[in-house]
Amino acid sequence: MALITLRQLLDHAAERGYGVPAFNINNMEQGLAIMEAAAAVDAPVIIQASRGARSYANDIMLAKMIDALEEMYPQIPLCLHQDHGNEESTCATALQHGFTSVMMDGSLMADAKTPASYQYNVDITRRVVDMAHWIGASVEGELGVLGSLEHGGGEQEDGHGVEGEISHDQLLTDPDQAVDFVRSTKVDALAIAMGTSHGAYKFSRKPDGDILAMRVVEEIHHRLPNTHLVMHGSSSVPQPLQDAFNQFGGEMPQTWGVPVEEIVRGIKHGVRKINIDTDCRLAMTAAFRKVATQSRSEFDPRKFLKPAMDGLRDLCRERFEQFGTAGHASQIKVVPLAEMARRYRSSALDPQIGGIADAAE
Ligand code: G3H
Ligand code: 13P
Ligand code: ZN
């Protein structure tokens, strides 16, 4: 089966009212674990690679690995997405390597630290949309800056994210601006800011509406009912994983992530793509720590990696089930890129028209 575009997959998810987790990967073990989980529950998959992942694994290695996963799991529609593209060239080279979707994150400048102006964001996102749609690939844009409503700061845990303190206005996507942004750029999906941030340290307490502003999701969905919304920073940082990590020598201070029930609420209000990396990292490293602590003479990396893959597989499966993704892979007949390109050229997929990419068989 050919790779699916983000647009076709999220159109299907919108028609049927489910959400799709987007898992970050950097290596073969993560790819295998995610696909194993998807195959077990018949879920379509979004695998995303950050700029860091692309330089860690190498574009050629990543592309060949995705080819292999496609061949191993021909029944699972698989979307390969660039996470947080910082400039046009990042998105262009992703497309050259077979990605079927890119995120142009124009909420920040190319340094991935400095908040960008609205006009800069519109212009660069529109240019990436023009480029990607010519070949039928999809584009996710971002409006608003990810960061904490508790302390007004972005996250630097992964070496990207806004630097310094920013205002509440910048940390919450403005619904009126969202309407203008989607119309002006023609993005296929819109990432919004409502208090989530990347990494493990999102909230210092179980989040309520003051620090996780789900009302912003609802308001934007009300104004843009045909636009697929994306929640970044959506790891739940589950207590059992924190405990497992700390039980075997880890030192993770108590923290709170985005509760799964809030994500499920988001899915009822137009959230279709849910970005999860931290939980995947934690599931794997908690398993490494257990082996390292309990089997101190062990030096075969596979003895560490196999339980880590099992931990990641279980986490992914749980999210596929919680978000309603399970059971949908077999309903999707992948539309080839060339046909998606034709539909964009005929304006059939304009977001304001709410075109649906004819996802189901
Ligand atoms: O966008 C955030 C993801 O967690 C990717 O992190 O840049 O360290 O690969 P990374
Ligand atoms: P988490 O750090 O919450 O997993 O978020 C990942 C993400 O948003 C990647 O773009
Ligand atoms: Zn993100």
* Domain CATH code at residue 310: 3.20.20.70
What digits encode the pLDDT tens for the residues 169-208?
A: 889 999 999 999 999 999 999 999 999 999 999 999 999 9
pLDDT confidence tier of residue 158, bands split at 50, 70 and 90: low
Evaluate whether residue 201 is within a structural domain.
yes
Parent domain of 65: 6-345
**What does the pLDDT read at residue 361?**
43
Residue 359 lies in a domain: no
Q: Give the pLDDT of residue 166.
A: 81
* Closest approach atom of ligand 2 to CA 257: 3
Report the residue among 81, 83, 157, 230 best suited for mutation to probe ligand 1: largest number of ligand atoms under 8 A from its CB.
83
Alpha carbon nearest to ligand 1 atom 2, residue = 198
- The answer to whether residue 359 scores a pLDDT higher than 90 is no
Residue 341 has a pLDDT of 97
pLDDT confidence band for 101 (50 / 70 / 90):
very high
The answer to the question of residue 355 being in a domain is no
What value does the mean pLDDT take over residues 106-121?
A: 96
Is the CB of residue 83 below 6 angstroms from any atom belonging to ligand 2?
Answer: yes
Cα–Cα distance measured from residue 255 to residue 262, given in angstroms and rounded to the nearest whole number:
17
Residue 68 falls inside a structural domain: yes
Please state, in angstroms and rounded to a whole number, the distance separating the CA atoms of residues 83 and 230.
Answer: 12
Q: What residues contact 334, with CB distance under 8 A and at least 6 apart?
A: 1, 2, 3, 4, 8, 77
Predicted local distance difference test score (pLDDT) of residue 11: 97
Cβ(105) to ligand 2 under 6 A? no
> Which residues touch 82 (CB under 8 Å, ≥6 apart)?
48, 49, 90, 91, 94, 99, 101, 102, 103
Length of the chain: 361
Answer whether 233 contacts ligand 2 (Cβ < 6 A). yes
Pocket of ligand 1 (CB under 6 A): 24, 50, 52-53, 83-84, 158, 198, 277
The catalytically annotated residue of 11, 67, 83, 188 is 83
Give the pLDDT confidence of 130-156 residue by residue, as tens digits: 999 999 999 999 999 999 999 887 765
42 carries an active-site annotation: no
Residue 155: the pLDDT is 65
User: Which atom of ligand 1 is nearest to 277's Cα?
Assistant: 4
The rounded mean pLDDT for the chain is: 95
Please give the distance, rounded to the nearest whole angstrom, from the Cα atom of residue 22 to the centre of ligand 2: 9
Rounded Cα distance between 141 and 35, Å, is 26
Which is nearest to 105 in space by CA: 42, 181, 45, 43?
A: 181
Q: What is the pLDDT of residue 153?
A: 75
258 assigned to some structural domain: yes
For the CA of 282, the nearest ligand: 2
Compute how many other C-beta atoms are within 10 angstroms of the C-beta atom of residue 72: 13
Tens-place pLDDT, residues 283-319: 999 999 999 999 999 999 999 999 999 999 999 999 9
- Would 352 be classed as within a structural domain? no
**Structural domain contains residue 256:** yes
Q: Give me ligand 3 centre to Cα 295, in Å.
A: 35
**222 marked among binding-site residues:** no
How many domains, the chain?
Answer: 1
Report if residue 360 sits inside a domain: no
pLDDT at 310: 98
